[in-house]
Amino acid sequence: MSLLKHSKLARRLLAGASFGLAAGLVSVSGAKADQSAYVPVTDAQLQNAGSDAGWLMFNRDYTGRDYAPFTQITPDNISKLTVAWTSGKIDIPDGFEDTPIVNGDYMFVTTPKDHVIAYNAVTGAKLWEYDYKVPPAAYKTLCCDTNNRGVALYGNLVILGTLDNHVVALDAATGAVKWDVSIMEPGVGYSISEAPLVVNGKVIIGSGGGEYGARGFLVGLDANTGAQVWKTYTTALENEPGGDTWPAGMAKTGGGAPWMTGTYDPETKTLFWGAGNPGPWLATMRPGKNLYTDSLLALDPDTGKMKWYYQYTANDTWDYDGVNTPVLQDITYEGKTYKAIVEANRNGYFYALDRTNGKLIYAKTFTHDISMKGVVDGQVVGNDEVRPALDKTIFTCPSFLGGKNWWPMAVDPEANMAYVPTLHACMTMTGVPVSYAAGLPFLGETFKMMPDPSSPGVLGSFQAINLSTGKMVWEHKSADPWDGGALATKGGVVFTGLPDGHLYAYDAKTGKQVWVSPDLGSGIIATPISYQVNGTQYVAVWSGWGGVWPIWSGKLGAPLAKNPRGGHLYVFKLGS
């Protein structure tokens, strides 16, 4: 990213700040006429979220599977799926990446620029809306659009993170602010775009900003007051365990942003959270493994203390963050049963790890991979031949957007498969001089997205992977990037969207396409959800093109440059 491109992005984001919802908290007359009283969300309800009728957290439940146990919608009757209600167009020209959250007949959504809206989940009646005022300084240090990926629920609260590094709790029934705390000042490289996770009464959320050299950290806040209980950094200083994996002083600006929502195992009381890329990107400036960047961290959710870690990509120089959702799923591999974590990593490998100790079970490529050489002693190792250096240009795959970026895959425990939205793109990279300055990009590399010569005409695919082997079972290819999340259901249907503005449904076992939505007004980069109210199953998804692809894909993304902008929330059910 050049400084010129960085400044152009900041100006575009600032220029777009006038779009959006009405300012402040808005009361909608008559919206609550048929609305039930809000039922507070308890710790027990969160621990059993997988069987709840709603959709209580970002990945539905603590396992991170994005799997709904509903059977009303099947491959046989999905042709009857129709629009139940829609939000209408929300005129913000940035990426809509929110996962709607549902408790009873209350649905809570976020939009770019940190707006929150509450709807009746059955009728679509707007209950309230809240417009967080993002200061201009926050827009200057955003990597990848003004997105907000959603809220967390606890008690009577709706909790969100903001682009200027606040965590805000709203009254679920009214939208009134209950508490508002800052965890870092804006404009120095940090931002928050992820949905929080509530565990044992603590709001857990991580910082973004790895491209700015911002030292990554996670915090645990008291859910009732916002008071900070613990803070854990994701890069190790010289006097800390792992500090010898950095050159002297560099861990302070070493990135490692834990910018995506993690998962939790109540049985072992272990929090799992991914840490992002090191800074600067140019690895020749920071020899060593650079712990704990590009790693999965196993933490105590009550104290933030690390139990173990697994590093996916040591001394990363390709921007292969380790933040993709660590999904909890028991598997059988080569005749042995494991309590596992499975993840489709940005470095192009699909991993299965033992979640009790962090040991590798297997790692298999799921997209064309030149950057990695293979598995050695339980680790995937990098290919030194395609490491950029000062004035050295390399070509490699996958691109810096990874084999899969942040958008969640889904795991169906009954089908024993993961459904992975996959990217097929490569890049060139060249090392350039760089020095750290707070609030400015800290990369040391220029880059250019390139087509993948191994899959001409294909930029994305949606593939099913057998969890017992790590091998693909079926696949759908696309000329567009596949950067919408996935939803699996017990009814045997898997949902995912594309930039062409359609939501697609596939038979979970065979991969047969069984349904496609009408045009939803804009491209889909969000994750669909499913919930039930009064025995009726619904499927909901945002359309709203934006995010990383149009900002960073260059000429490779030109065919989508004129994609319509603006968000639409669509909710579907069977019948009219």
Question: How many CB atoms are located within 10 Å of the residue 24 CB?
Answer: 11
Q: What are the distances in angstroms from CA 214 to CA 127, 256, 351, 551?
A: 38, 8, 27, 21
Under 8 Å CB-to-CB from 90, ≥6 apart: which residues? 20, 21, 96, 111, 544, 566, 567, 568, 569
Question: How far is it, in rounded angstroms, from Cα 127 to Cα 30?
Answer: 9
How, if at all, do strands 425-431 and 393-396 pair? Answer: antiparallel
Q: Shortest CA distance to 568 belongs to which of 477, 497, 509?
A: 497
* Beta carbons of 144 and 169 less than 8 angstroms apart: no
Q: What angle do CA 563, 564, 567 make, to 5 degrees?
A: 125
Task: Give all strands (DSSP E) within 69-215, no chain letters.
Answer: 81-86, 101-103, 106-111, 115-120, 126-131, 152-154, 157-161, 166-171, 177-182, 197-199, 202-206
The distance of Cα 265 from the centroid of its chain, to the nearest Å, equals: 19
Return the bridge partners of 343, or none. 351
Distances (CA, A) of 128 to 24, 35, 58, 175: 10, 12, 21, 6
- The residue type at 213: G
In whole angstroms, give the CA distance from residue 502 to residue 201: 38
Element spanning 513, H or E? strand 513-516
319 catalytic per annotation: yes
CA distance 513 to 38: 38
Please state, in angstroms and rounded to a whole number, the distance separating the CA atoms of residues 351 and 320.
Answer: 14
383 within 8 A of 373, measured Cβ to Cβ: yes
251, 235 in Cβ contact below 8 A?
Answer: yes
Q: Which of 114, 265, 294, 319 is catalytic?
A: 319
Q: Quick one: which H or E segment has residue 7?
A: helix 3-15
238, 192 Cβ separation under 8 angstroms = no
Residues present in the chain in total: 576
In which element (H, E) is residue 14 found?
helix 3-15
The answer to whether the CB of 369 falls within 8 A of the CB of 455 is: no
Q: Are 399 and 348 in contact (CB under 8 A)?
A: no
Nearest alpha carbon to residue 106 among 91, 135, 83, 128 = 128
Closest to 464 (Cα-Cα) out of 510, 431, 418, 409: 418
d(CA 143, CA 476): 30
Question: What residues are labeled active site?
Answer: 319
